[in-house]
Amino acid sequence: MPSNYYPFIARETWLILIIIFGIVLLAKFFSTILLFSLFLAILLIAIYLFRDPHREIPSQPLAVVSPAHGVVTKVSKAKEIRLGIDAIRIRIVMGITDIYSLRSPIEGKVIEQWYNAPSKNESHRHFDFHVQSDEGDNIVTAIRFRNIMHKSHIYLNSGERIGQGQRCGYLCFGGVIDLFLPIESKVFVEVGQFVDSGSTILAELIHSEPQSSIKDQL
């Protein structure tokens, strides 16, 4: 199971920052003050972009937390094609300045993972993973990576357990995430709302209500 302890600056970006820092030092001693100032500004911007602050995970077992930092752009009923079931879809778009860490929406077991490389009809890479809770709830997280740099890190293994809000990947420069929840789930977020990865509660898993909490017009 991946560790919950991570430094404030994402370790996936340390090499990039070290290279930029080296360029800053070279510019300081062997170049003009203008170039030195430029590379120093780039270093500070990179440190900000690659920040990875600690998150307080809610102590609510049936809560579904946001897997990513970004803005909710869609809440609707949808067909989850991997499992072939009706679901509630919550779409989160990560901005270029958002935190790039990926977190598990629930505690449970990683059942399966799917990866799709770009094709003639689809320029983006896709990565989906299916987590099943101890109560039998199935949640699929579908990630569409940005084309910028195509750099991502996923730390998941099928069959392993994962904690609620646990860091399980790093999506350099973000992406678009569709979270597919059981149709009975009670949703707490709305379109336009900003969410924090690992700490904002998107929904609650409900086992007693037969109908979806999403209004029919969505």
Residue 49 CB neighbour total at 10 angstroms:
18
What's the number of CA atoms in the CB half-sphere (13 Å) around residue 82? 22
pLDDT of residue 214: 57
Higher-scoring residue by pLDDT: 200, 7: 200
CA-to-CA distance for 142 and 212, rounded, in angstroms? 21
Q: How many residues are there in the chain?
A: 218
Higher-scoring residue by pLDDT: 117, 69: 69
pLDDT of residue 153: 86
Calculate what percentage of the chain has a pLDDT beyond 90: 63
The mean predicted confidence, pLDDT, of the chain is 86
Using the 8-state DSSP alphabet, how is residue 68 labeled? S
pLDDT of residue 21: 95
Q: Please name each of the domains of the chain with its CATH number.
A: 11-49 (no CATH), 63-204 (2.70.70.10)
For 135-167, the pLDDT digits (tens) are 999 999 999 886 655 567 889 999 999 999 999
pLDDT of residue 149: 53
Whole-model pTM over 0.75? yes
Give the angle subtended at the CA of 105 by the CAs of 101 and 107, to the nearest 5°.
115
Mean pLDDT of 70-90: 92
pLDDT of residue 173: 85
| Statement: residue 25 has pLDDT above 60 | yes
